[in-house]
Amino acid sequence: MITDSHCHLDHFRPEEQPEVVARAIAAGVTRMVTIGTRQPQAATVKAIAERFAPHVFCTVGVHPHQAGEPPMPTVEELLALADHPRVIGLGESGLDYFYDKSPRPLQQEGFRRHIRAAQRSGLPLCIHARDADEDIIAILREEHEAGGAFPFLLHCFSSGAALAAAALELGGYISFSGILTFPKSEALRQIARGVPEDRLLVETDSPYLAPVPLRGKRCEPAFTVHTLAVLAGLKGRGVQEMAEITTANFLRLYPRAA
């Protein structure tokens, strides 16, 4: 049983979603998490998770790209959004200084609010990090010191070794997407080799980032197996072994999905 810990099923047309989910299940991907990116979209991801239960769960939150869309939800509003049986986590939130679609101070404030909601609820926070490693590390450490530990996942990891080390030090998990399979990703594969097996997850971030050998195609949760196979090879494990390891890690991080 393979788990796609991060996908965007709402980016597929409603009429094609059943086929996408069916192809995933046929490929052995029996758990999927469709991710929240803005407050008004929360009802949509919840409906998708309800529609495709028990195979699909969801998270709720505001992506850093949308951090500038008023109003940014308060901690209390995030907690209210998460009060639903198919919601297993918060996010995705974090920082994206590559596209800079929202002002950086607003991204940082939104990130801190999501962390505080994770601290209060115990729900894991899915973190988006792009070209912002130093600020991500600083905020994680500051909020950890101020409010205590909280569960979190660095999703679609493509950052540097320093961020990976800081996340692991704070008890976080790291998820790898199809980027891990790209020919030019040797530095990323080296980081993956060093991540403890009990902190690893896999994902597609579909419909983006289709893995090798499917580059150029629209990515689907069914493609998780290709990233899983590369990760298994890096760790000297069989694909089935790595499926069991990453799914056990997923269920430990997201106990509502158990």
Q: Evaluate if pTM is beyond 0.85.
A: yes
For 176-202, b/e burial (b = at least 16 CB within 10 A) is bbbbbbbeebeebbebbeebeeebbbb
Q: Let me know: does 228 contact 32? Beta carbons within 8 Å.
A: no
CA 81 → CA 64, 158, 171, distances in Å? 18, 29, 25
DSSP secondary structure letter of residue 133: H
Task: Look at residue 99 in the predicted model and tell me its pLDDT.
Answer: 96
Q: What is the pLDDT of residues 207-229, one digit of tens each?
A: 999 999 999 999 999 999 999 99
> How high is the mean pLDDT of the chain?
98
Angle between helices 104-121 and 133-147 (to 10 degrees): 40
Q: What is the DSSP letter of 195?
A: S
* % of the chain beyond a pLDDT of 70: 100
Structure confidence at residue 33 (pLDDT): 98
237 contacts: CB under 8 Å, gap ≥ 6: 245
Task: Give residue 167's pLDDT band: very low, low, confident or very high (50, 70, 90).
Answer: very high
Determine the pLDDT at residue 28.
98
> Using an 8 Å Cβ cutoff, are 163 and 137 in contact?
yes
For the stretch 35-88, pLDDT in tens is 999 999 999 999 999 999 999 999 999 999 999 998 999 999 999 999 999 999
- Confirm if 221 and 215 have CB atoms less than 8 A apart: no
Gap between the Cα atoms of 124 and 67, Å rounded: 19
State the Cα–Cα distance between residues 131 and 18, nearest whole angstrom. Answer: 35
Please give the order of strands across the beta sheet that includes 29-34.
2-7, 29-34, 56-60, 87-96, 125-130, 152-154, 173-176, 200-202
**Angle CA 65–70–73, to nearest 5:** 85
DSSP state of 220: -
Domains of the chain: residue spans and CATH: 2-257 (3.20.20.140)
- Are the C-beta atoms of 154 and 127 separated by less than 8 Å? yes
Strand stretches in the chain, DSSP E: 2-7, 29-34, 56-60, 87-96, 125-130, 152-154, 173-176, 200-202
pLDDT, tens only, 85-105 = 999 999 999 999 999 999 999
Show the tokens assigned to 125.
């926070």
Count of alpha carbons within 13 Å of 158, Cβ hemisphere only?
18
